[in-house]
Amino acid sequence: MIFKSKHHPILYSFFKHIFASLSTGMYFNKVIFSGTFSDRGKPVFVVANHLSWWDGIWIMYFNIKKLNRKFHFMMLENMMLKNKLANQVGGFSVKKGSRSIVETLNYTAELLNSNENMVLVFPQGKIESLYTPYIHFENGYNNILKKVPADAQIVFLVNLVDYLSNIKPTLSMYFKEYENVNLDANKMEDNYNHFYSQCVAEQMLKTENE
């Protein structure tokens, strides 16, 4: 049995309209979006790097500004049990090595069959350092991709943070669409890391010009 995502009318509204926006404004110097998204009104599958507990908040903010979908994200069951509020604002559980993973995969497909939804997945499966040079996709990620409908829009997202001469850091959110054709985990990993490397290079160039 899995924890399916819920959207508590008060908590979800608070996180979506107040907390995500206010917290980024309070704790960050600015947020820079870099990329394009051609909204075709389809469900959206977001693939992002996982560098901190901020990630879910950042991507909820990204969703508000760029996607405008109902926010859903896959989360390890043991982490959800420690933070049950996550389930009330769009989180659904996955338990590695469990038979319930089939239920999670089917539920992911169910979510992505609705045009009003977006589903966020961190292919690393865990938080890693901002300085990680390569994003390794976990074994079994291919099983998730098999559940992504052919008409879903796929978005690569890379979050990077720099302080430079500011007291507060600047958050840069790089994004691009990925072609949803013959999805393969190894190919997607290569393509995501190519994009990731481009984003890091662009970020370094920006800092040199500050």
Based on the structure, what is the number of domains in the chain? 1
User: Residue 173 belongs to what domain range?
Assistant: 11-208
Cβ contact 23:55 at 8 Å? no
What is the end-to-end Cα distance of the chain in Å, rounded?
A: 51
Is residue 3 situated within a structural domain?
Answer: no
Is residue 30 situated within a structural domain?
Answer: yes
Strand 153-162 with 170-178, pairing: antiparallel
Is residue 204 situated within a structural domain?
Answer: yes
Instruction: Give one DSSP letter per residue of 56-78, joined into a string.
Output: HHHHHHHIIIII--EEEEEEEHH
> Which run of H or E residues covers position 34?
strand 30-35
Is residue 197 situated within a structural domain?
Answer: yes
Is residue 2 situated within a structural domain?
Answer: no
The count of C-alpha atoms lying within 13 angstroms of the C-alpha of 172, restricted to the half-sphere facing its C-beta, is: 18
203 three-class SS: helix
pLDDT per residue of the chain (210 residues) written in tens, 0 to 9: 899 999 999 999 888 877 777 888 788 999 999 999 999 999 999 999 999 989 988 999 999 999 999 999 999 998 888 888 899 999 999 988 778 889 999 999 999 999 999 999 999 988 999 999 999 999 889 999 999 999 999 999 999 999 988 999 999 999 999 999 999 999 999 999 999 999 999 999 877 666
Record the pTM: 0.94
Is residue 5 situated within a structural domain?
Answer: no
